[in-house]
Amino acid sequence: MELIVKSMPAEVQAQALAWKREGLTVGLVPTMGYLHEGHASLIRRAASECDRVIVSVFVNPTQFGPNEDLESYPRDLEHDLKLARECGAHLVFTPTPETMYLPGASTWVTVEGLTRELCGKSRPIHFRGVATVVCKLINIAQPDRAYFGEKDAQQLAVIRRMTADLNMPVQIVGCPIVREADGLAKSSRNTYLNEKERQAALVLSRSLERGREMLEKGETDVQKVLDAISGTIAAEPMARIDYVQAVDADSIEPVKTLAGTVLFAIAVYIGKTRLIDNFYWKV
Amino acid sequence: MELIVKSMPAEVQAQALAWKREGLTVGLVPTMGYLHEGHASLIRRAASECDRVIVSVFVNPTQFGPNEDLESYPRDLEHDLKLARECGAHLVFTPTPETMYLPGASTWVTVEGLTRELCGKSRPIHFRGVATVVCKLINIAQPDRAYFGEKDAQQLAVIRRMTADLNMPVQIVGCPIVREADGLAKSSRNTYLNEKERQAALVLSRSLERGREMLEKGETDVQKVLDAISGTIAAEPMARIDYVQAVDADSIEPVKTLAGTVLFAIAVYIGKTRLIDNFYWKV
């Protein structure tokens, strides 16, 4: 079928409800566009599991702080439509801030607790914006399943918590990080890096790899693993640590010992570009 | 058909989704139980407009402040089931705080602006609790239409705003206040009143009637109308004013002149019992 492109929330909702009435299952892949191989893996997985796939492309202003990169965030809708079509999407939803946030809009969805650590520290309003827009996107697209990358592991935990707490009838599917051949996690923000920075950015995946190797060899002291990760990053002159933390994967509470699923997560500035990466360690 | 009674959110959601798949429309009437003729009017209206009607009976703890009447709020499930059945309900949803708020629940829905005035002043966490639980109930019951009484006019405005802001595919239906023969607005809290207080409580409807008569005779000075209402209440020794306000019916912002639809709303303590009443004035 032809790829449908729509920008009005009400039109997308009407299409989704029509599909649901026909008994079709719907998958949603929320994105900020500038789609890369990570997004492609989400869309392909959705297409393999759902009858209809809706990809949203929306650089959501309410999840950016005043000094963040809302204005410079890369955009390329033509490329996004092509990639979405090739990966099996049926509808691309391209709203504008004006159609998503009507005059007088004043409702926020907040998730407490899970948003205190990691990115919540340096991006205080970020997850309020994420939770609110994802709640809206789910209500618009009426998906049976919604797909998110594990690179944004805290976002994934927040959205799992929100949809469970608000009894939203949707299954949240987390998908593995997709990396460049040299290890750098795919991100639309990698486009900000110049050649030298691109090379320096490898310290993120390399430091995590070092931590994971220690765990595989039997290290059980969480702090030693974190220290090794931090030490590796500190040795790269172009890198500046925002955080290096080990938290419970569901509650995003800091952990001192290995139990359940532990998320080792880092955020690092390479020049002016802030990058994140992580891995899960299941005990 | 037999009245279905269920206490687990997931069971009610499964039933609602099954009805929707059959092409049936669903109406939701959220209540705190101890149903009276006001609730009955909502259920009958829902039954006349929808194929299936879900009535929820839940005294929601998160919308009560620490010194409010959560513990003493009247309950009578047997009576509620009988009334719901007689009015045409198909399912009564009777959750508990434990099934509605799972361990670790930490998501809130807040509506800013509309919750500053009127009841928002004396009940600071009330509307956060209302918005969150109504968001949950709508996600559970999947209604095409949800019915609310106009007695809680600020609640009605908050829920209209929330469902619009979050793109929830539900129509919010406001229904007129139902009154006792002598004018007192029906409320589960009227049961708190002793005989003398019951008589004194008539000052709410009487004062509003006085204000409305002034408007009907052509009074255009909002303050004069408010003063007349306040003066009437002040003349009743058992009454203590919480607020007497005129606000825009949609934004709940105070108004000084008549324009659009103005909500004249009051909250008055009769002894220890806090009662509310209001009327809309359309210009």
Distance CA A157, CA B211 (A): 53
- Whether residue A142 and residue B106 make contact (CB cut-off 8 A), yes or no, is no
Share of chain A above pLDDT 70, in %: 100
Nearest chain A residue to B127 by CA: give it: A107
Chain centre to alpha carbon of residue B32: 9
CB contact, 8 Å: B251 with chain A? yes
With pLDDT > 90 as the criterion, what percentage of chain A qualifies?
99
The tens digit of pLDDT for each residue in B61-109 reads 999 999 999 999 999 999 999 999 999 999 999 999 999 999 999 999 9
Question: Average of pLDDT values for A90-94?
Answer: 98
* Cα gap B97→B58, rounded to integer Å: 8
Q: Measuring CA to CA, which residue among A172, A175, A182 is closest to residue A205?
A: A182
State residue B188's pLDDT score: 96
Residue B8 banded pLDDT, cuts 50, 70, 90: very high
Q: Once rounded to an integer, what is the mean pLDDT over residues B190-212? A: 98
When computed from its CA atoms, the radius of gyration of chain B, rounded to whole angstroms, is 19
| pLDDT of B226 strictly over 80 | yes
Cβ–Cβ < 8 Å for A149, A177: yes
User: Domains, chain A, ranges and CATH?
Assistant: 4-175 (3.40.50.620), 188-278 (3.30.1300.10)
Compute the mean pLDDT over every residue in chain B, rounded to the nearest whole number. 97
Cα separations (Å) of A11 from A54, A168, B119, B140? 13, 21, 36, 24
A260 interfaces chain B, CB cutoff of 8 Å: no
Which residue does chain B place closest to A25, by CA atoms? B21
Q: What residues in A contact B139, CB-CB < 8 Å?
A: 166-169
What confidence tens digit (pLDDT) does each residue in A182-213 have? 999 999 999 999 999 999 999 999 999 999 99
Q: Which of B39, B79, B90, B126 is catalytic?
A: B39
State yes or no: is B39 an active-site residue.
Answer: yes
Give yes or no for residue A105 having a pLDDT over 80: yes
How far is it, in rounded angstroms, from Cα A64 to Cα A129? 8
B109 contact A CB<8A: yes
B1 falls in which pLDDT band (50, 70, 90)?
Answer: confident
Which chain A residues have a beta carbon less than 8 Å from that of B160?
A: none
Nearest-CA residue of chain B relative to A131? B107
> Chain A to chain B, count of Cβ pairs less than 8 Å apart?
89
| Cross-chain Cβ contact A166/B112 below 8 Å | no
Nearest to A258 by CA among A208, A201, A219, A205: A219
pLDDT of residue A49: 98
Going from the C-alpha of A243 to that of each of A31, A117, A255, A256, A278, the distances in angstroms are 24, 9, 14, 16, 11
State whether residue A108 sits within 8 Å of chain B by CB.
yes
Residue in A closest to B100 by C-alpha? A165
Token duo for residue B95: 């959750």
- Selecting from A105, A111, A166 the residue whose C-beta is nearest the C-beta of B135 gives A166
Mutate to test the interface with A, among B109, B125, B170, B252 (most CBs of A within 10 A): B109
Round to whole Å and give the CA distance between A14 and B22.
18
A281 to chain B, closest Cα gap in Å: 22
Q: Quick count: other Cβ atoms within 10 Å of Cβ B22?
A: 9
B111-136: per-residue pLDDT in tens? 999 999 999 999 999 999 999 999 99
Question: Using one digit for the tens of pLDDT, what is the confidence trace for B15-51?
Answer: 999 999 999 999 999 999 999 999 999 999 999 999 9
Question: What pTM value is reported for the model?
Answer: 0.97
